[in-house]
Chains A and B, each alone.
Chain A
Amino acid sequence: MAFKSLVLSLITSLSLLAFSYLSNLLGHGGTGFILLAVILFTLSVFSVLKSSPNKAQKSQSTAQSSCLAEAK
């Protein structure tokens, strides 16, 4: 799920950059699109990185619980 969200946010960020380029070609200025692309991609990367240590901790505690149960 996290990976798919990251992929979609990457697609969206690239689309925003494309819109920024188009906007500049039209003489309209594309700063807003670039800013949004950077913010979105940064947030997605942080979100994925944050959810990864949580998953690692969960699998570690699950493994410990099953070892304790076996020992008993």
Chain B
Amino acid sequence: MIDAVVAFFILGILAQLLGAKLSFPDGLYKTLSLFLMVAIGLKGGIALQQHIDPALLTMSLAVVAFGLLLPLVAYPLLRYFGQLDKINAGAIAAHYGSVSVATYAVAVALLEAANIAYEAYFPLFVVLLEMPAIVVGLVLAKGNIKVINRTFVKKELIANQSILIMVGSLIIGFVGGESVQKLTPFFVELFSGVLALFLLKMGLVAGEQLGTLKKNSIFLISFAILMPMLGGLAGTGLGVILGLSAGGLALMAVLGASASYIAVPAAMKESLPEANAGMSITASLGITFPFNVLLGVPFFIALGQYLGA
């Protein structure tokens, strides 16, 4: 049985493939993205305040290490099988080492619908996993660690919109105390509805990306399906080592399986303008995102329940 929220994603793809002219204002899409990032951060901060874990620092370091290693799995596949140059291989590897907030949001919605509990500090992990892959991808592309300078750190890591919004919301949720409760009717109660609308737009975009796949894109399709499977299993393994709950295992797998198409493309556009952005977006949004939403996330939730039992 397909979840109602995920069904909107399928609706979006079908609408695009059927040529239906669904008008979706650009401003609305950006507002929905902002809403999701604030809601995820806020919910995480509130839950973290209630259930803080002393082992969080160790776990956070392990998660950052995971984020540094994932692009190193993607890069040789892209170079050897795809015969891509260093620039494009590094850029795509950065996408797959980072995370998709939307995929994470879908996983959270499915876990909550099935009443499967997960650790409160996961939004912190989402934020931590945004950054390392950008650094590794850039170093792989340029072949030189000196590209990581102060300007890069300030612009792409600290002032990055996604990271700033999510970290800020997490902190507000954590320190806000009782005053945060007045925000929950908006950011918590409306989360599923907003996610459904967001996925409708994502379906339209994914359908459009599928249409731009050229005939010789078999490598890209194969990579964009294989990488989430590898990343998801690696995430599951990390979750088992960290002793996470069933829901936590599922979310860690999803973070490993997902690929960024908001934060990393923006960072790559600035730092690697010579990279082919279309290839990265087609892979991460046109293939990996639908694969994860339709097959990957439900599978990893089932796997998490089995291992966490």
Contacts and interface: CB of A to CB of B under 8 A. Distances in A.
Interface of A: 1, 4-9, 11-12, 15-16, 19, 22-23, 26-28, 32-33, 36, 40, 43-44, 47, 50-51
A6 B83 CA distance: 13
Nearest to A1: B83
B228 to A, nearest CB: 10
Contacts of B230: 15
Contact of B218 (A9, A16, A26, A33): A9
B222 A8 contact: yes
A43 to B, nearest CB: 6
Given A5-B218, A7-B81, A44-B222, A19 B298 contact: no
A57 B299 CA distance: 45
Given A5-B219, A23-B302, A28-B302, A12 B295 contact: no
Given A11-B222, A15-B229, A36-B291, 20 more contacts: A4-B80, A5-B218, A7-B81, A8-B81, A9-B218, A9-B221, A12-B223, A19-B229, A19-B295, A23-B299, A28-B298, A32-B294, A32-B295, A33-B295, A36-B225, A36-B295, A43-B218, A43-B221, A44-B218, A44-B222
B247 to A, nearest CB: 15
A51 B226 contact: no
Interface residues of B, number: 25
A43 B80 CA distance: 21
Contact residues of A: prevailing secondary structure: helix
Contacts of B298: 28
A23 B83 CA distance: 32
Nearest to B221: A40
Contact residues of B: prevailing secondary structure: helix
A11 B182 CA distance: 51
A14 to B, nearest CB: 10
A30 to B, nearest CB: 9
Contacts of B219: 4-5, 8-9
Contacts of B216: 5, 47, 51
B146 interface: no
Contacts of B299: 19, 22-23, 26, 28, 33
B302 A27 contact: yes
B100 to A, nearest CB: 19
Contacts of A28: 298-299, 302
Given A8-B219, A47-B216, A47-B218, A16 B294 contact: no
Interface string B205-233: 00000000001101101110110011000
